[in-house]
Structure 1
Amino acid sequence: MTEPHLVGGAEAAADDSDDGDAAADPRGWALPRDVSVSDLGSLADPISEHNGQAIAVAPLIDHPGWLAKLYRPDQHPEDAHRLDLLISAPDALPAADRAALYAGTCWPAARIHDSGNPAVGCVIPIAPEEYRSELRRGTFSERRFVEIDWLAKSDESIRRIGLPRPGFEDRLAACRQLTELARILESLGLVYSDWSFSNAFWSPARRSVYLIDVDGCQPRKMPDIHQPNWADPLTPQGTDADTYTDRYRIGLLVAKCLTGRRDAHAFHTVAKSSWQNQPAVSEVLLDMLLATDRERRPSAAQLNQALNSGPYLRPAPRPTRTALPALPPTIVPHPLDPDPVKPVKPEPKPTTVPPNTSQGGWMLALLFALVLALIIVLNH
């Protein structure tokens, strides 16, 4: 298996350009690949603010279909060079891969500079409208981008928000495209690291996906930002993310989207599944997720090949695996017991109070005194 290499081809492409000018972008970007803030014209109100490395993402009024992504002022000094490499990287790809990258990602088209700051931000395309759907929550509905998070849920959960239930083929199509994009990035020697639910959109109608935030890609390695539920057990905290981290995370994302399960349930579902026409998928995923040697993890290209009904050409010897993670405790609701029969309290028996002998004597004495007094009165 050949090692991926970006930077030779991309750097050469960047050096061959004339002061940032390049052939017309096939997506319709008309300005050079290195533009000043004033070149962009007016910006509309931001559609996003203070999200990750960006302080704002705003539409370009004079260039419909494009956004200015403006970075925080504390970016690394090398960011200008890194952005130039990213912008030029597709030039080194075969035509089919270049078309797939442009169609499936918001790949940057230009670096934005200003006096004293060579990397104010970058120009990226607006995600296609086909990735928006009317999402229903009870009686309320809203048209918004559909995050790929929904593919990691059950068909019934997806149906409840107003989207069509995805069959296995729909899930498979989305995962094929995800891994195709991962394969292309890996072939360029780029680390994305951010494979997670919120960084890709899904179109149920077109059975396709669209990857965002790709302008953060870095060659070979990058800081590994902690993401809950996406931590690579073989990338120690405080070390950089690299190609092998990416392999774990794209494997985890595919496992969750393909099975509609989350957490350890996704691992267990993969382990017991034998998908028709994709016999190698389970083996590739389990080696990606459970290999004890991170460098023995299969590549994104191998996973993409398996998802396309190809063979898994595993290098010998077979990678050793850790055990499947423990499933979280399942709380099974018990049927409600019938109301217990309450014991009937017996009516209290009346208590018989024995006569008070002292009280009876006093009454007789009083009666005798009254009779005596009556007799005396009558005698007088």
Structure 2
Amino acid sequence: MNPRTIPAVLDLSRLGPLPSTPDFDKAGESDGIWRVPAWPGHLFKRLNAEAARKLDITMLDRLVAQPQMLTDPGDRRLIDEATSWPASRIVDRGATIGVLTPEAPAAFSVSWLAKARTNPNRYGPIPVDYLAKPNAWLAERGIPQQSAADRAATCLSLARVACLFERCGIVYADWSYANAFWHPTQHIVYVFDLDGCSYGSRPHVFTPEFEDPLTPDRSPVDTYTDRYRVALLVGRMLTGKRRKDEVYAALGFMSGAVPQTLLRMLDAGVRTDRPSIADLTRSFGQAVPTARPADASGVVTWRPRQNHNVTRTPNPAPGSAAPTWRPRQNYRPRTPTPAPRPAPAPARAQVPVSRPVRPAPPRPSPPVPPSPPPAVTRPTQPAPSGGGAAGPVLAVLVLIVLVVLCAVAIF
């Protein structure tokens, strides 16, 4: 059944009667997994209470819709053949309780021994964990031994799936031995447990033996964490080694672009310096589309620019000095055509005659200072009448006559 023909949201009642005992026991975030006869080839994964409480419904709905937005037939085929992509969100009385996902194709089931010399033959998919073992270990369990070319082909199959996730902006985070199957003769993988994926970073997912030394515990995991974990898983599958130091040593003895790219992804001192999963895929000689697939909104998946930290400065309080501001580099206005800038005001001497000019209001006259008081002068005797030099001579003669008369009268 084509998973794209299944409604994006299904009520539990539409799954039909399910047995009380699940087909697969509870593990991780699930309370059990059931095969669903009403939807052949699909599994119902019922989430436990804690997982259901933390579930991001919007993110899950976006994952369910993602395959329908892919325009490249190769991407759609890869999702259908190599992933257990979520097909529907399951609800019960309005609450999300689980997810419907495809079961691994029957072609992945082969006969093998779960444990050497102790268990009878088992028929089913083989965990990718077993590829991270030497050929002698595989032979003990009845699994065909893998040549270097066989291992490289299987590694490329896994890298292509991880590359599609990266191109869609999806962080899988739980790359490990437990979440993929592989086929020992067709050299392909099948990745499952995708309902917990996120677009962009997500809370820390602890994965034993796959912890990133540059992503501290409890720090969010992101695409750079995925790069490290994918490189470690591919390195283990390629070399048949499990210990990190043995993987590094084995890759160091190999030649070619693949081991060199893996070592750069594992040894980078800065997370952002790690080559992308697309780079790893190209190192196998596989072409990678340059355009990112569209997401559930119908537009190309958008991710914020890395290392773009903007410090927002609050507006100054009224009455305070405004902070120094400089325009952002490479700023582009929101509108397609910027509004025309107003022409600068012409100088006064260049005002056209025909343009009306408002007369300037008269300036008030400066205040007149009060007059100083008149100077006070003493009154003077009026000058004797008679002009010229005769006046003083006559006065002297009169004075002499008076003196003579007084002297005669005395004597």
TM norm structure 1: 0.71
Q: Does the CA-based 8 Å contact 1:193-1:245 persist in structure 2? A: yes
Q: Does the CA-based 8 Å contact 1:280-1:310 persist in structure 2? A: no
Q: Which residue of 2 aligns with 1:40?
A: 15
Q: CA deviation at 1:29?
A: 5.8
Q: Which residue of 2 aligns with 1:60?
A: 36
Alignment match of 1:255 (pick from 206, 231, 235): 235
Q: CA deviation at 1:295?
A: 0.6
CA distance in 2, matches of 1:309, 1:205: 20
Alpha-carbon deviations, 1:321-350, whole Å to 9, x = none?
xxxxxxxxxxxxxxxxxxxxxxxxxxxxxx
Letter in 2 for 1:300: I
CA distance in 2, matches of 1:303, 1:135: 31
Alignment match of 1:304 (pick from 281, 306, 326): 281
Larger % of strand: which? Answer: 1
Say whether residues 1:186 and 2:166 are aligned partners.
yes
Larger % of helix: which? Answer: 1
Q: Which residue of 2 aligns with 1:71?
A: 47
Greater displacement, 220-229 / 73-82: 73-82
CA distance in 2, matches of 1:184, 1:70: 27
Say whether residues 1:295 and 2:272 are aligned partners.
yes
Say whether residues 1:216 and 2:196 are aligned partners.
yes
Q: Match of 1:57, SS?
A: strand
| Structure with max Cα Rg | 2
Cα distance change, pair 78–209 in 1 and its aligned pair in 2 (3 A):
closer
**Residues 1-380 of structure 1 mapped to structure 2, 5 A cutoff:** 27-28=2-3, 30-44=5-19, 45-74=21-50, 75-76=52-53, 79-93=56-70, 94-117=72-95, 119-136=96-113, 137-138=116-117, 140-263=120-243, 264-274=245-255, 279-308=256-285
Q: Does the CA-based 8 Å contact 2:4-2:68 persist in structure 1? A: no
Alpha-carbon deviations, 1:296-334, whole Å to 9, x = none?
1111110011022789xxxxxxxxxxxxxxxxxxxxxxx
Letter in 2 for 1:280: A
Q: Over aligned residues, Cα RMSD in angstroms?
A: 1.8
CA distance in 2, matches of 1:309, 1:109: 28
Q: Does the CA-based 8 Å contact 2:64-2:88 persist in structure 1? A: yes
Q: CA deviation at 1:207?
A: 1.1
Q: Match of 1:56, SS?
A: strand
Alpha-carbon deviations, 1:31-88, whole Å to 9, x = none?
3111101111122441223211111110112222111111112324662211110011
Letter in 2 for 1:115: R
Letter in 1 for 2:262: L
Greater displacement, 164-173 / 92-101: 92-101
CA distance in 2, matches of 1:55, 1:224: 22
Greater displacement, 257-266 / 137-146: 137-146
CA distance in 2, matches of 1:39, 1:53: 23
Q: CA deviation at 1:244?
A: 0.3
CA distance in 2, matches of 1:191, 1:131: 25
Q: Match of 1:249, SS?
A: helix
Q: Does the CA-based 8 Å contact 2:175-2:233 persist in structure 1? A: yes
Q: Does the CA-based 8 Å contact 2:31-2:48 persist in structure 1? A: yes
Alpha-carbon deviations, 1:343-367, whole Å to 9, x = none?
xxxxxxxxxxxxxxxxxxxxxxxxx
State the percentage of identical aligned residues. Answer: 35
Letter in 2 for 1:162: G
CA distance in 2, matches of 1:209, 1:310: 19
Q: How many residues align?
A: 281
Q: CA deviation at 1:28?
A: 5.0
Q: Match of 1:231, SS?
A: coil
Letter in 1 for 2:40: P
CA distance in 2, matches of 1:267, 1:78: 37
Alpha-carbon deviations, 1:139-162, whole Å to 9, x = none?
632223200111111111111100
TM norm structure 2: 0.65
Q: Match of 1:135, SS?
A: strand
Cα distance change, pair 310–89 in 1 and its aligned pair in 2 (3 A):
closer
Q: Does the CA-based 8 Å contact 2:24-2:33 persist in structure 1? A: yes
Q: CA deviation at 1:229?
A: 1.3
Q: Does the CA-based 8 Å contact 1:176-1:308 persist in structure 2? A: no
